[in-house]
Chains A and B, each alone.
Chain A
């Protein structure tokens, strides 16, 4: 097994304790840091997301893999160029106003971060204005992710889309929505760009927007 493959396996198994040493060894041996990040860690997290989607892995397993990845990334970061460590895109994410459910949002945020995105997490019960302000304050934001677990708070997602239009920011960002009661139909109705049914779907969509 190559060192990249070993790092891939350590992320897959969520071995936070062993990963720093393995990354340091790989760097010492002259491996390409970018390759370690992309083919080792990010690829492993993509696989984790897919297995989670298929119901083969569960939430705690996804969490320990993300922890292992974060640990490995800490060791790797000094060896990446500024551009390489800047991430593949910047995302603002939050649970909408009136809604305190943040487990799903946190999982998506964690998986986005583990997929190489810079994530600005505004938390839960976040008013529309705060979404807009975050996009204004961070001109590099290309994606806004909103989560709602209640049918009663879902309308806030439409308000976010409308507020982005009013603020003249709609063309600069894609809007991705999710949460138990959210559907593709609702997404189409409110004029959002995408609906992700789970963390893995959110990652696929987010990567698609960045590539486009």
Chain B
């Protein structure tokens, strides 16, 4: 699983407080802790007003690169901000995210075409976020075709089939899994990721739903997730599902995660 660590995000109240107070130590601390917990990318989302987004991104990128060796995931809904942040990064990372609406791909794809940057693409378009697996897949197909037209190889594309909320739509996960299966069958090299916590909005014990959702979608072929790698419960799902799927001979990775203190139960 490719883990995108989500904690440096201005939409998380504690992180926003640190951003507003320019508390660089806290940012560095959670950046490094996520890397130590296995994050493959450190997501950076300023989550501030547009006028100060660029300077905030610059500040955050500098801090993360001071302490981390893993690449950055640039997270903004403004494609121009993303493009402007690329030269600030010391190594190619991940762009989070673009969609087929309003020329977002047109702004970002040419810039990353001849680089090693990877890109998260959302399955939404001008008509909004589709709920059914077939439409999610159809948009994914358009995205892959568009990426290929810029020479972006399939394995640099991370499709996020945008999960809807279980509380308002009973077949949210069913259609999400359908999309995963269709994408997997047609584009074996493409990565599939998800921010996943949207699934449990409006329901009690959200963690429980998030955990089972992660397990079931990993089983369907999702190979990446945007989550808090410091959450031992999510870690337990990542390692246990991997082992249950037969990908962890003698459970060595699962045991390693236990000994490293990544699971909710700590070694004596």
* Interface residues of A, Cβ cutoff 8 Å to B: 58-60, 63, 98, 100, 102-103, 106-107, 123-125, 150-155, 180-181
Contact = CB atoms under 8 A, between A and B. Distances in A.
A98 B77 contact: yes
A102 B164 CA distance: 10
A196 B194 CA distance: 30
A151 B47 contact: yes
B contact patch SS: loop
Nearest to A52: B202
A110 to B, nearest CB: 10
Contacts of A106: 168
B98 to A, nearest CB: 13
B248 interface: no
Interface in B9-50: 10-11, 47-50
B168 A59 contact: yes
A148 to B, nearest CB: 11
Contact of B47 (A63, A102, A152): A152
Interface of B: 10-11, 47-50, 53, 76-78, 101, 124, 128-129, 165, 167-168, 201-204
A98 B124 CA distance: 12
Given A59-B202, A103-B165, 15 more contacts: A59-B203, A60-B168, A63-B167, A63-B168, A100-B124, A100-B128, A103-B168, A103-B202, A106-B168, A124-B128, A150-B11, A150-B77, A151-B11, A151-B48, A155-B50
A152 B168 contact: no
A151 B15 CA distance: 14
Query: Which of B48, B76, B167 has the most C-beta atoms of chain A within 10 angstroms of its own C-beta?
Result: B167
B124 to A, nearest CB: 6
18 contacts: A58-B202, A59-B167, A59-B202, A60-B168, A63-B167, A100-B129, A103-B165, A106-B168, A107-B168, A125-B101, A151-B10, A151-B48, A151-B49, A152-B47, A152-B77, A153-B77, A180-B11, A181-B11
B128 A102 contact: yes
A152 B128 contact: no
B60 to A, nearest CB: 15
B11 A155 contact: no
B97 to A, nearest CB: 12
